[in-house]
Structure 1
Amino acid sequence: MKLCPNIGCLYAYNSDTARFCTKCGKPLLLKDRYHLLQLIGRGGFGITFLAVDEHHPEKTKYVIKQFCFPENNGKGFEKAVELFRQEAVRLSELQHPQIPQLLDYFEHENQLYLVEEWIAGQTLAQELQQQGVFSETQIWELLKDLLPVLQFIHVRQVIHRDIKPENIMRRASLAGKGKDLVLIDFGVAKQITATALLHTGTTVGSPGYMAPEQMRGKALPASDLYSLGVSCIHLLTGISPFDLFDDTSDRWVWRDYVPNKGKINTRLGNILDKLLQNALPQRYKFAAEALQALNSAIKLDSSPAIVKKPDYGLNSEVGVDYHQLRDLLAAKQWQSADKLTWVLMCEALNKPSSSYLFTSDIENLPCEDLQIIDELWLKYSKGRFGFSVQKQIYESVDGDYGKFCANIGWNLPRATSPILLQQLYFHLSAPMGHLPSHIWAGGTQVGRQISALVEKLGRC
């Protein structure tokens, strides 16, 4: 069975040889290669198909998403095309094993399309329907599998916007093993359509799972964490999120519906409660913060297993060796690692050791070296320290350097207290983003170097 790709037609064919729709007359192939097999889903913002690549010897299957627009001309559509191209490039850069790879994007017959890797398997919503409510161990595993994925996309300034059990897939090859969950169906298409057509009252997401600020039109990294928390309590209870929230008392009452008389691991319950906070200051702001809390809870609880991740590459293309930095961070030698970070940044720039770095230096710092340093700090601090953590905090305060310093525990410079003499805290109880420190930054206006570093990370 194959379908006509015309959004207003979708006439079904049993013939494998037909090349034009006998109903509307349009070509049946998208971009002269993709043939639609079946309709997967339809919503107000688009249609999703399962398709086959007619040019591929193995007839590889893909997911194709078509955007819906009331009118395919005018300024609204031009804006949509512009946003479409920008967001498609951003999505194509999300190379992660737990995110379907964006393989192609194109315009055809005045329609916009995304072509993504097809993931064979079941969604967690389907698992819930077939197997019943999830156990605590399964929720531990879910959080452990997905929080690093959210950290990955948020560092790259992408917000999913529509996390729910229907958009979390377990690969068929690993079904039942509790590993390798895949985050599907990013809300980019919905965001582009709503923005381009000036639907100012349109919210992107699914009712019941959206955070309060997202319902008001402002999605943040913390909004994805809220949706993840709602997904967890729905899977734990099998109850609709609408019924798990008590409007009269303005609070979640999910514990009342947990099997075994509401008994839940205290540490897991506390994490879920913080994910579900309506007020942003009381909720986890970043995935790194939630992941750190999760890892701390896992250490104190013997039931979930800790899965070790492989080391990152430790030799950059410019010849810098990061093994010593890895060893210092693994040994929790934060102060020595902080000093070595400065030395290695200089080495990557071919500057004398401990030379101060300025804006132009940051712009010339190789992305690979910056990413290796960042990933090592993230890994061994359990997500508390690292340049990308600092970037998230800097952007959360809209680039206000004073607020940024207050959040991460850096004191603003004073005439009687040079910035390089400020007190730093070299332990994991230091504020989020406290390390690496600013000792590498030259000049008296350190905020400029931090701003340059944030911009550099955004480009890498």
Structure 2
Amino acid sequence: MSQCLNPECLTINPDNFQFCQKCGDKLLLVERYWAKSILGQGGFGRTFLAVDEFKPSKPPCVIKQFLPQAQGTETVEKAAELFAQEAERLELLGKHPQIPELFAYFSVDSRQYLVQEFIQGETLQQELDNRGVFHEGQIRELLIDLLSVLQFVHGHNVIHRDIKPENIIRREADKRLVLVDFGASKIIPKTQRRTVTGTVIGSAEYCAPEQSMGKAKFGSDLYSLGVVCLHLLTGMSPFDLYDVMEMEWVWRDCLNGNFVSDELGKILDSLVAQKPRQRYHKVEDILAELGFTNSSVYTTENNQQSPQNFVSTDALLVRFIGVDYTQLRNLLAAEEWKKADEETERCMLKIARREEEGWLRKEDIDNFPCQDLRNIDHLWVRYSHGKFGFSVQRQIYQNLGGSRQYDKEVWEAFGDQVGWRKEGNWLRSYYILNISGSRLEVFREGYLPLVDKVINYLVERLVDCNI
């Protein structure tokens, strides 16, 4: 089927029709792109899922059509300018692996179009709607993943200005978060004065106070990212998480039992501070708070990133810890859960220098590097959509009333909930993990990684490390 692109028609036509059977408009855009269906519509445009007829595999792509809803010549002209600028931003930034690539920009029949990479996956809003609120591990993973993208964007003097759950997609192929829709973005000239007032733009719920007055800063994007985190942790509108009478955020009152450590809570509080000077000033500072103290590998000599110098989050884990997590990442991406669990144990034995013995002691866990635990947890949380990981296990344990003090009843309840016990008996890892390549749905939340024989000590260490 082919979608007519005439805004007054939009008729669905059978395949191989060259012209719309209703309005007569040509269906093959610039002799290359077949529009298939409408993906969405905003204030300045309509997006279509399309097929690139020029490429042998006929891959999917996205056509964005300029279609302003605003009235008035000046407003429409400004909207057209923003649309053209979006194409420029994508050409500048689209080589980053977590930003859609621009394929083409042109005008047909006095209408502007841009064609960009199609990102297959769910938005964070869809994830929230389908799977419920995010837990701390997922929020940490989200921050680490997106902060590196924002560092790249800001390094090119661009402010996104519309960061919200609908504009963040978890790519199905590799579970990476992709930042989309640069229609509201803006380049800040290095010589621009702070007092210059620009266009008021962005989604009100996630918009920083200074941005709502037309004075967006790089920190405005960080504010929006922080508000996204609060929304995902609570499932509530950001408007309901801020007490306008007391002029303070009350998100902790809306967690409904969802655990957030003091460490992460302080980071979120700083991100969403109303006064810009009270927020973080640099992405590196936030990454350092999250445990990525060697965040300088993200930048180039000119304090900017080029696509060639970009270092992905996963590659960063491998680079500065000294333990190669590539195999673990690949197994998790392939959903080889049993092999990934075995690889996790191998990595942990290597870190603790217990490879010959083949098992970990309590003292090994008590002194296990926090950063390594964070890195392993980061990979498990990412590739399991937040179902597995040390942080997931810790939250379940604490929600059951667990603490640093060993409690037999809590541990048994924990084992029952994650699936480590059956009919009152503890199951050995080789017994229950004898299913290679099983789908994610067959496992209970928090089931993996198992780390046989030391998991009870490990949870204590997770508390120490704020994981």
User: Does the 8 Å CA contact 2:155/2:305 hold for their aligned counterparts?
Assistant: no
Size of the aligned set, in residue pairs, is 303
| 1:265 corresponds to which of 257, 261, 266 | 261
Instruction: Note if 1:121 corresponds to 2:118.
Output: no
Counterpart-to-counterpart distance in 1, 2:82 and 2:208: 24
Q: Which moved more, 1:147-156 or 1:218-227?
A: 218-227
Q: Deviation of residue 123 (structure 1)?
A: 1.0
Q: Which runs of 4+ in 1 moved over 4 A?
A: 70-87, 308-313
User: Does the 8 Å CA contact 1:45/1:189 hold for their aligned counterparts?
Assistant: no
Corresponding position of 1:62? 61
| 1:293 corresponds to which of 285, 289, 292 | 289
User: Does the 8 Å CA contact 1:203/1:217 hold for their aligned counterparts?
Assistant: yes
Corresponding position of 1:92? 91
Corresponding position of 1:223? 220
Corresponding position of 2:104? 104
Q: Secondary structure at the match of 2:36?
A: strand
Task: Let me know the Cα RMSD of the aligned residues.
Answer: 3.8
User: Does the 8 Å CA contact 1:190/1:204 hold for their aligned counterparts?
Assistant: no
CA distance 1:237–1:88, change in 2 (3 Å): same
Q: Deviation of residue 69 (structure 1)?
A: 3.7
Q: Which moved more, 1:138-147 or 1:27-36?
A: 27-36
- TM-score scaled by structure 1? 0.59
Q: Deviation of residue 80 (structure 1)?
A: 6.1
User: Does the 8 Å CA contact 1:67/1:189 hold for their aligned counterparts?
Assistant: no
User: Does the 8 Å CA contact 2:47/2:64 hold for their aligned counterparts?
Assistant: yes
Counterpart-to-counterpart distance in 2, 1:78 and 1:242: 32
Alignment of 1:219-368 (within 5 A): 219-260=216-257, 263-295=259-291
Counterpart-to-counterpart distance in 2, 1:295 and 1:169: 25
Q: Secondary structure at the match of 1:173?
A: coil
Q: Secondary structure at the match of 1:169?
A: strand
Q: Deviation of residue 54 (structure 1)?
A: 2.0
Tell me which amino acid in the other structure corresponds to 1:44: G
Q: Secondary structure at the match of 2:31?
A: coil
Corresponding position of 2:355? none
Alignment of 1:176-187 (within 5 A): 179-187=175-183
CA distance 1:76–1:312, change in 2 (3 Å): closer
CA distance 1:137–1:77, change in 2 (3 Å): closer
Q: Deviation of residue 266 (structure 1)?
A: 0.8
Alignment of 1:154-169 (within 5 A): 154-169=154-169
CA distance 1:74–1:368, change in 2 (3 Å): closer
Q: Secondary structure at the match of 2:8?
A: coil
Corresponding position of 1:145? 145
Corresponding position of 2:203? 206
Counterpart-to-counterpart distance in 1, 2:242 and 2:73: 43
Tell me which amino acid in the other structure corresponds to 1:224: D
Corresponding position of 2:19? 20
Tell me which amino acid in the other structure corresponds to 2:103: L
User: Does the 8 Å CA contact 2:184/2:202 hold for their aligned counterparts?
Assistant: no
Counterpart-to-counterpart distance in 2, 1:112 and 1:163: 24
Gaps of 5+ in 2: 188-196, 318-467
Corresponding position of 1:8? 8
Tell me which amino acid in the other structure corresponds to 2:88: V
Q: Deviation of residue 106 (structure 1)?
A: 1.0
CA distance 1:32–1:98, change in 2 (3 Å): same
Gaps of 5+ in 1: 192-199, 300-305, 314-340, 342-364, 381-460
Q: Secondary structure at the match of 1:212?
A: coil
Corresponding position of 2:136? 136
Q: Deviation of residue 70 (structure 1)?
A: 6.6
Q: Which moved more, 1:63-72 or 1:225-234?
A: 63-72
Q: Secondary structure at the match of 2:158?
A: coil
Aligned identity (percent) is 51
Q: Deviation of residue 311 (structure 1)?
A: 9.2
Counterpart-to-counterpart distance in 2, 1:159 and 1:38: 30
Counterpart-to-counterpart distance in 2, 1:241 and 1:247: 12
Q: Secondary structure at the match of 1:59?
A: coil
CA distance 1:74–1:211, change in 2 (3 Å): closer
Counterpart-to-counterpart distance in 2, 1:163 and 1:236: 16
CA distance 1:129–1:114, change in 2 (3 Å): same
Q: Secondary structure at the match of 2:210?
A: helix
Q: Deviation of residue 74 (structure 1)?
A: 7.7
- Deviation string 1:222-242 (CA, Å, 9 cap, x unpaired) is 111111001101111111111
